[in-house]
């Protein structure tokens, strides 16, 4: 076969190769401020794009941070676990408010973990404070040993749209929340938004898992002031529920 024929064959083969994917968009940056926030603003880095929605600063997390700073006066010295943290704003607010131990988790994806590490490093300074917060990759429903429970507060921020994962989240809550004898005020704090109103009943079925298994579920605050996040968001801001260990 001649060089010319070989070259033509290579060219023909190239016609059927998939094009290289475009590079991912760069990270974006935003900040959270509140009058009750100790120190300066919390500066947040968001991944450029992610199938698990880590590239958004969700309204839920902002209201959650406000709630932690203004409605949990005993947060100082307490242990906190956040599931599906994204940028980790509620965990960072808890750490800045003096929580004794904060474990901030999300799916063990490299981009998500690196982004969380970046946000912790940027906002939690000082050797003592930095030693009280750690980033962990965690899959809901799996063994919780490496998280070193129990925790006084669990944070679930805008996770209820993951209907197929309700049972897995419940198992994690069950095995990580401090028992009533250890801390009678231990609680799971859940803020949710029904972004798809036609599935609101499925969102709320998460709380039925707790009610039917003997847990107390209490609505603490409702906020509808922030509006929709993006065009495809069909819902509005919902309620903050607080299931408590009896």
Query: Residue 56: inside a domain, yes or no?
Result: yes
Query: Rounded distance, CA 43 to CA 33, Å?
Result: 9
Residue 194's pLDDT band, with cuts at 50, 70 and 90, is confident
Q: How far is CA 213 from CA 3, 125, 170, in A?
A: 75, 41, 11
Pick the residue with more confidence: 55 or 64? 64
Query: What value does the mean pLDDT of the chain take?
Result: 85
Q: What residues make up the domain containing 142? A: 27-244
Query: Residue 239: inside a domain, yes or no?
Result: yes
Query: Rounded distance, CA 8 to CA 234, Å?
Result: 52
10-14, 93-97, 112-116, 233-237: which has the minimum mean pLDDT?
Answer: 233-237
Asked whether 190 and 219 are in contact (CB, 8 A), the reply is no
> For residue 103, what are the contacts with CB-CB under 8 A and spacing of at least 6?
79, 80, 81, 82, 91, 133, 134, 136, 147, 148, 151
Asked whether 150 and 187 are in contact (CB, 8 A), the reply is no
Residue 159's pLDDT band, with cuts at 50, 70 and 90, is very high
Residue 133's pLDDT band, with cuts at 50, 70 and 90, is very high
Query: Residue 85: inside a domain, yes or no?
Result: yes
Tokens 């299931």 map to which residue?
243
pLDDT at 209: 96
Asked whether 120 and 88 are in contact (CB, 8 A), the reply is yes
Within 10 A of 61 (CB to CB), how many other CB atoms are there?
A: 26
Query: Residue 40: inside a domain, yes or no?
Result: yes
Query: Residue 83: inside a domain, yes or no?
Result: yes
Q: How far is CA 8 from CA 5, 18, 19, in A?
A: 5, 18, 19
Query: Residue 120: inside a domain, yes or no?
Result: yes
Residue 55's pLDDT band, with cuts at 50, 70 and 90, is low
> For 59-78, how does the pLDDT look when each residue is reduced to its tens digit (9 = 90+)?
889 999 999 999 999 999 99
> What one-character-per-residue DSSP string does 91-125 give?
HHHHHHTT-SEEEEEE-S-HHHHHHHHHHHHHH--
Q: Which of 213, 214, 208 lies closest to 241 in space, CA to CA? A: 208
Share of the chain above pLDDT 70, in %: 78
What is the pairing mode between strands 236-244 and 79-83? unpaired
Spacing of C-alpha 54 from chain mean position = 8
What percent of the chain is helix, strand and coil (3-state, nearest 5)? Answer: 35, 25, 45
Query: Residue 21: inside a domain, yes or no?
Result: no
pLDDT at 127: 92
Query: Rounded distance, CA 237 to CA 104, Å?
Result: 23
Asked whether 47 and 111 are in contact (CB, 8 A), the reply is yes
Asked if residue 238 has pLDDT above 50, the reply is no
Number of domains in the chain: 1
CATH code of 33's domain? 3.40.50.150
Asked if residue 241 has pLDDT above 50, the reply is no
Query: Residue 18: inside a domain, yes or no?
Result: no
Residue 179's pLDDT band, with cuts at 50, 70 and 90, is very high
Name the DSSP class of 149.
-
């Amino acid at each position: 076969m001649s060089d010319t024929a070989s070259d033509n064959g290579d060219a023909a083969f190239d016609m059927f190769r998939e094009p290289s994917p475009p590079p991912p968009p760069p990270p974006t940056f935003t900040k959270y401020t509140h009058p009750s926030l100790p120190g300066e603003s919390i500066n947040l880095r968001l991944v450029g794009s992610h199938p698990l929605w880590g590239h958004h600063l969700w309204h839920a997390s902002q209201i959650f941070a406000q709630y932690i700073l203004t409605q949990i006066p005993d947060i100082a010295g307490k242990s906190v676990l956040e599931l599906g943290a994204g940028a980790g704003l509620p965990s960072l607010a808890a750490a800045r408010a003096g929580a004794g131990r904060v474990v901030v988790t999300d799916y063990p994806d490299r981009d998500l973990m690196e982004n969380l590490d970046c946000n912790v490093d940027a906002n939690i300074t000082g050797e003592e404070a930095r030693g009280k917060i750690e980033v962990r990759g965690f899959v809901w429903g799996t063994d919780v040993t490496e998280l070193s429970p129990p925790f006084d507060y669990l944070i679930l921020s805008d996770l209820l749209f993951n209907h197929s994962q309700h049972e897995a989240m419940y198992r994690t809550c069950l095995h990580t929340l401090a028992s009533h004898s250890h801390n009678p005020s231990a609680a799971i704090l859940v803020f949710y938004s029904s972004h798809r109103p036609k599935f609101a009943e499925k969102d709320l079925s998460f709380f039925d898992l707790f009610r039917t298994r003997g847990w107390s579920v209490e609505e603490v605050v409702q906020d509808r002031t922030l509006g929709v996040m993006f065009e495809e968001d069909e819902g509005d801001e919902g309620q903050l529920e607080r299931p408590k260990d009896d």
